[in-house]
Chains A and B, each alone.
Chain A
Amino acid sequence: MIVVAFALLLACQLAGELLGRLTGLPLPGAIVGMGLLFALLTRLRRPPQALGAVGDRLLEHLSLLFVPAALGILDQGELLARHGLQLGAAVVVSTLLTLVVTAAVFRAAARRWPVDAPAEGAPAAGEGEA
């Protein structure tokens, strides 16, 4: 049931928001909701198929969903003029460095703790795929 699956996503977010509110922790509700859904999935023997369908549909268009927030840059001309150099330098340096560090550390660690042979090129699918 698509409707139930969507309701489950909303319920997880609501529970996440409530948890953040009740504990007074600065935890974003949607992210706590993601953790709750993940915990739920690992406990269900056969997660509902519709959940995978709804999730795939939402995530397929994820980039569309952040257009409204991304256009906020229109109101930030002054900010970008003042901090453009700092932001540009930070983003370029940090992105390249993160790529290098992650790949190099993974390679070194995989030599130490060999990764079990993966099913080469197989798409990642869990058992009882939802």
Chain B
Amino acid sequence: MSGLAAFWATGRSSTLLWLAATLGAFALAEAASRRLGRHPLAHPVVLTCALLGAALRLTGTPYAVYFEAVKALHFLLGPATVALAIPLWRNLPHVRRALRPLGVALVAGSLTAIGSAVGVAWLLGAPAPVLASLAPRSATSPVALEVSRSLGGLPDLTVTLVLVTGAIGAMALSPLMRALRIDDPAAQGLSAGVAAHGFGTARAFQVHPLAGTYAGVGMGLNAALTALLLSLVALAGR
């Protein structure tokens, strides 16, 4: 038994345990999300975090220990971010076809996403690190995470805000567009991708294939533009 206890205390067992638990929780969450008809609130990541959060609390495992155990998964975010160039490149024909409306709407949306979030929180008295964590939250999370870090924000908080943003955007998309009488799938899709990254893109594909394509373009271009704009801000702030 003492051999087992010694094994349990090693970093390797912790890695094996929490990697397996994370993948298992994600698989469960995927199945649950599918059963719930892909409801935006039942997003697999939200469910996975709830399950694992409960498991960490119950076992008294500090977050730092968990993160150390699963940092291989976190590392893969880097190459995955680089790979975002591939769908963007595939969608180039769509971008070329609607270059001017896309460009104008993208810049307007991107500035609104950054400016209104920072503005509201600033009016309510939020301190600088909180504002920096909010600024990139409409971008897809690997990008938002990196930008938040370079702005002096709290990357973990940013990831949480990205997830909440995505869930709200995906849920609000159809009711909002109905209220505004905007039925053009391209306009709907682009706004979903710019405002609510991957969550919005997934929702847009349920609305119309063309909406999904524009959402993917919006997500990719907004990630690039947000990184560019906020990197300039970080540079100016130094």
Chain A residues proximal to chain B, CB less than 8 Å: 6, 9-10, 12-13, 16, 25-31, 33-38, 41-42, 47, 51-52, 54-56, 58-59, 62-76, 79, 83, 85-87, 89-107, 109-110, 112-113, 115-116, 118, 120-127, 129-130
Contact = CB atoms under 8 A, between A and B. Distances in A.
B176 A100 contact: yes
Contact of B82 (A34, A52, A112): A34
Given A70-B156, A93-B120, A98-B109, 4 more contacts: A34-B85, A67-B70, A99-B177, A129-B90
Interface of B: 22-23, 26, 43-45, 48-49, 52-53, 56-57, 63-64, 66-67, 70-71, 73-74, 76-94, 97-98, 100-102, 104-106, 108-109, 112-113, 116-118, 120-121, 124-127, 130, 134, 137-138, 140-143, 145-147, 149-151, 154-157, 159-161, 163-165, 168-169, 172-173, 176-177, 180, 182, 184, 186-188, 190-192, 194-196, 198, 208-210, 213, 216-218, 223-224, 227, 231, 234-235, 238
Given A59-B87, A126-B89, A79 B126 contact: no
A72 B149 contact: no
Nearest to A40: B85
B56 A74 contact: yes
A94 B124 contact: no
Contact of B150 (A27, A71, A89): A27
Nearest to A117: B97
A66 B77 contact: yes
Contacts of B121: 83, 86-87, 89-90
A124 B186 CA distance: 13
A10 B109 contact: no
B194 A95 contact: no
Contacts of A83: 121, 126-127, 130
B147 to A, nearest CB: 6
